[in-house]
Amino acid sequence: MLLAIDVGNTNLKMCLLEMDTGALIGKPERLESKKPDGSTETYDVKTLTECLERLCFVTKRKLTDISFAIYVTVVQNTEAYLQKFLNSFLTSDKFIEVGYGNVPLRTLVPHPGADRIVTAIAAEKKHGSDNEPLLVIDFGTATTLDVVERENDVIFITGGTIAIGPITMKAGFDRAVPALANKYELKKTERVVSRNVFEQTSAGAYYGYLGLVCRLIDDTVKELVADRRLVSPDSLNLVLTGGPSVIFQEDIEAEYSNNDLVSFKASDYELMMEGLFIIYKYNMLLREHEAKRQVKKKELSKL
């Protein structure tokens, strides 16, 4: 059984995956990544172990069933406590951190963030094809838009955009306007114009953010056309991921249903875990090849 850990700016997520297929076992367990004062949370081994024990209990699995772990983090100074936690039940050769040197992807964007690498790999492997770039939109603490392309079976992140995430936007508004804090929802409303201040705020948040995302998609298309990287109908495929994407999925899909250059491909909420599994399998293959190389080297030395 594989333990997959995703440490984001909003929360830490633990999942159990089947070793052979990568199928998700049960639902993930989460811990907040931020303290109430906004500073980064640092977890001790006890807290992380309790989270994993809850996960094992819910999924009816045992800690000893875990034979390998993989983790990705975008939060600074988290590697030490994660490694200490994993070393409490696994040896150091039985877990890996996702980094630029151990993934089947090249990027033209310097240091795009390990989470973006993971979702780009999963999106391309699952939804990509030659000569049709993907625009992977990941709604999170920040919303990232990454242009992902494949050439001769090599996956590239060729560019992207970062915007404030919808939940982050709402949290900032709530702090700035406490009179309206927690009195409205980030959701689609029947009308943009209303006579209720809370509905007005919901409408402004929803349609304002939808407009932001659609404008970024439209301008991405214009630039790709100008760069001659979009040349055929429906040649840019949209893939949405991240929890908040479900809020906007319907309207984004409708917006681009009749577009000559853009095709809505999928809304895929588990890309992160699928990407971690792909990277795990890739690293196991690298280890297998290295082991064979060492055996061959040893045999040659005896000649």
Give the tens place of pLDDT for each residue, 104-123.
888 888 888 899 999 999 99
Does one domain contain both 166 and 80?
Answer: no
Can you say whether the dihedral through the CA atoms of 142, 269, 84, 58 is positive or negative?
A: positive
Residue at a domain's end among 62, 97, 132: 97
CA distances to 8, 28, 151 from 40, in Å: 11, 21, 39
- Count of domains forming the chain: 2
Does one domain contain both 69 and 134?
Answer: no
Percent of the chain with pLDDT over 90: 62
Structural contact between residues 60 and 241, judged by C-beta atoms closer than 8 angstroms: no
Predicted confidence band of residue 302 (pLDDT cuts 50, 70, 90): confident
Does one domain contain both 93 and 137?
Answer: no
pLDDT over threshold 70, residue 232: no
Residue type, 273: M
Between 240 and 129, residue with greater pLDDT: 240
Which residue range is the domain that position 230 belongs to?
106-269
Does one domain contain both 40 and 136?
Answer: no
In this prediction, residue 44 carries a pLDDT of: 86
pLDDT over threshold 80, residue 159: yes
Tell me, what CATH number does 183's domain have? Answer: 3.30.420.40
- Mean pLDDT computed over 122-146: 90
In this prediction, residue 275 carries a pLDDT of: 95
Which of these, 19, 42, 22, lies nearest to 32 by C-alpha position? 42
Overall residue count recorded for the chain in this entry: 303
pLDDT over threshold 70, residue 40: no
Does one domain contain both 134 and 226?
Answer: yes
Does one domain contain both 257 and 176?
Answer: yes
- Mean pLDDT computed over 118-140: 90
Give the tens place of pLDDT for each residue, 165-220.
999 999 999 999 999 988 889 999 999 999 999 999 999 999 999 999 999 999 99
The enclosing H or E element of 143 equals: strand 142-151
Does one domain contain both 187 and 235?
Answer: yes
Predicted confidence band of residue 259 (pLDDT cuts 50, 70, 90): confident
* Phi (first) and psi of residue 169, to 5 degrees: -60, -45
In this prediction, residue 208 carries a pLDDT of: 96
Does one domain contain both 241 and 192?
Answer: yes
Q: List beta partners, residue 14.
A: 5, 29
pLDDT over threshold 90, residue 98: yes
Mean pLDDT for the chain?
90
